[in-house]
Structure 1
């Protein structure tokens, strides 16, 4: 019995449109791309033919494949995406990156890489066609994605990690940046200093660290900033690392450092991120300490924290600008530029959270 199902009508092609409009296929292509000089009357004729045939435009995937590009950039976020979306600095970086990629006509594919099992991201990306990969936030020095992406010839850009020959970086001098804040409080007269570090290795608990812990640190940015603090801090200055980059973790670290007799308490706490500094400010206030009269607090990043009640003295590292710089580097690398690092300058902003030590 013959099938009652009718074959689907053939979809119109660019060649069909060109024939109906009485022009060459290349002329019709120029009308849709907008990249060439075509007389207005001719362009109108091509568009009218496309409307008559129900032709919506050339297949973007086919065009991308002909050009050897798919127009998608993988953006690797180590850890759950919710952590990045809670961090105003991370949001700024992602926002600036998205703006720059959008201007270049490229889409952004967010990939959450599990900290405990980073190799899972390899399987996830193995099925995705991407032109480039960006590691825009705090990451580990080694990453299993690098070997996989390098084997595929995918362009890679980072902001200090992972550390590999094929990865070009928009690079902050973390050590020098943290020294700016440490030097500021030393110049104010502080001699009892303390430090709140981002995590040095995945899976750590909030607690004390020593200079020796920096030698096998997995996160280059945290290790670099800690070394910047140690460059100027008196020997034996207490340091605490946090388990996550949140205000709550900063408050926990602040209590560990500040909940002690006045003669032993640090008079200045240098923090590796503004959200951590905000937590230290909260811890100080909960202990009946005034910022900056009893204890000075510094941050890093320069994010907007209008709810804090004080303007942090901080190392300015504009997140949106850094994201845009990463996006611009992606564009240049896709145009053939080699993996050359580009410095990203930071500066100190003096706010109301620092003052000379009490007494």
Structure 2
């Protein structure tokens, strides 16, 4: 007979045919995972023997190891959970990297990216992963990210901005987490990696002075968590707490430069340098040279000078710090103090390795080098 729900010409199954009930399909996530105990049972060995087969060491015969691995392959077992293994050793295998700034700004800075690249290239062969912990976006946010108090990490790296009373370091001390401080105030219980900021900036200052400049302004990195923007008066200068900014400013002044203006910026970004450049170069008594604490700030000043119709270096000299390759600034090539960014990242990784081995490494201060480009020249004759 024709089935009512079937098209013409299609026959339904007769009533004497028995159908097996359809089993509900299980998702891949609901399938029970094969365990080490399953592998051990299949290979006819104890769980501890199976564990030794995967560890690659210990008193186990090669024939037994091969039998265990064969059983694991047949059961689709990839190996013991690495997180469980790390936790049994009392380690997470994670290095917390505290960026000191919001990630949306940090990853626009080639300095941060290149240092991180050198760091991760060193940590990878050690079997260590990285947890990035952002800094506050502005002073209204907490200085310490909640991750810092709860996330599993074996060592913490604070990238920059640290001071002796930094709340981030205080939190790490309370947790008992070993720490590496980058570009911060050296402290006896914290590993330190930095560069010769002071010496490099002093050499750059002498270069500009030797060119005959006396009206020299400077554009700085942030002073503190406030991330203010604009000329800093004496009161604001007295509040400067971030070590990297303080060292570079003192290198400039110790070399004999009395800045006409100290212009503080909220971040090391091109637009912050451009804003500083417009403010410094628009007035009638503009400086003949602008020394900046980063290359991105300096490149912004160069762009502002071009916008205002000024020639670099014929009308104003501009210098930076970092030694970045900035092809988009062509035809200009910044005069800058080059720091070894990848090497600094590797030095941080080596300090992490020492701390994990129970050793407190000696502080590392890496050398820097003055590179004279096209953006500095003699003081203008009519200045």
Aligned: 1:256 with 2:267 = no
Query: Cα distance, 1:29 vs. partner?
Result: 3.3
Q: 2:324 is paired with a residue of what secondary structure?
A: coil
RMSD of equivalent CA atoms:
2.8
Q: 2:182 aligns with which of 141, 159, 179?
A: 159
Q: Which residue of 1 aligns with 2:254?
A: 231
**Residue 168 of structure 1 is aligned with which of 191, 195, 220?**
191
Residue 90 of structure 1 is matched in structure 2 by 112
- 1:186 is matched with 209
- Residues 224, 118 of structure 1: alpha-carbon distance in 2 compared, 3 angstrom cutoff: farther
Alpha-carbon separation, structure 2, partners of 1:336 and 1:14? 32
When Rg is computed on C-alpha atoms for both structures, the one with the higher figure is 2
1:5-39 CA deviation, whole Å, 9 max, x = no partner?
99x99755435434543556555434423457977
Residues 132-188 of structure 1, C-alpha deviation per residue, up to 9 Å, x if partnerless? 111123445533232222222211011123665432110223222211211111122
Q: Secondary structure at the match of 2:319?
A: strand
TM-score, with structure 2 as normaliser: 0.83
The aligned residue for residue 148 of structure 1 is 171
Show the counterpart of 2:134: 112
- In the alignment, is the contact (CA less than 8 A) between 2:205 and 2:257 conserved in 1? no
TM superposition score normalised by structure 1 = 0.88
1:221 aligns with 2:279: no
Q: Which residue of 2 aligns with 1:277?
A: 298
**2:74 alignment partner, one of 52, 55, 76:** 52
1:78 aligns with 2:100: yes
Mapped partners of 2:287, 2:183: distance in 1: 31
Counterpart check, 1:351 vs 2:373: yes
User: How far is the alpha carbon of 1:212 from its aligned partner?
Assistant: 5.5
Query: Unpaired segments of 5 or more residues in structure 1?
Result: none
| 2:55 counterpart residue number | 33
1:53 deviates by 3.4
**Contact 1:198–1:245, Cα closer than 8 Å, also in 2:** yes
Secondary structure of the corresponding residue to residue 86 of structure 1: coil
2:121 is matched with 99
**1:291 aligned to 305, 312, 316, which one?**
312
Give aligned pairs, total.
Answer: 353
The separation in 1 between residues aligned to 2:185 and 2:60, in whole angstroms, is 47
Name the CA shift for 1:282/1:238 in 2 (closer, same or farther; >3 Å).
same
Aligned position for 1:341: 363
Q: Name the stretch that deviates more: 216-225 or 21-30.
A: 21-30
2:361 & 2:142 partners in 1: Cα distance?
24
Q: 1:299–1:315: 8 Å Cα contact kept in structure 2? A: yes
Instruction: Give the distance between the partners of 2:359 and 2:141, measured in 1 at CA.
Output: 28
Distance 1:35 1:178 in 2: 53
Deviation at 1:111, TM superposition (A): 0.9
Range that drifts further, 226-235 or 66-75 = 226-235
Contact 1:177 1:228 in 2 (8 A): yes
Structure 2 alignment gaps of length 5 or more: 1-23
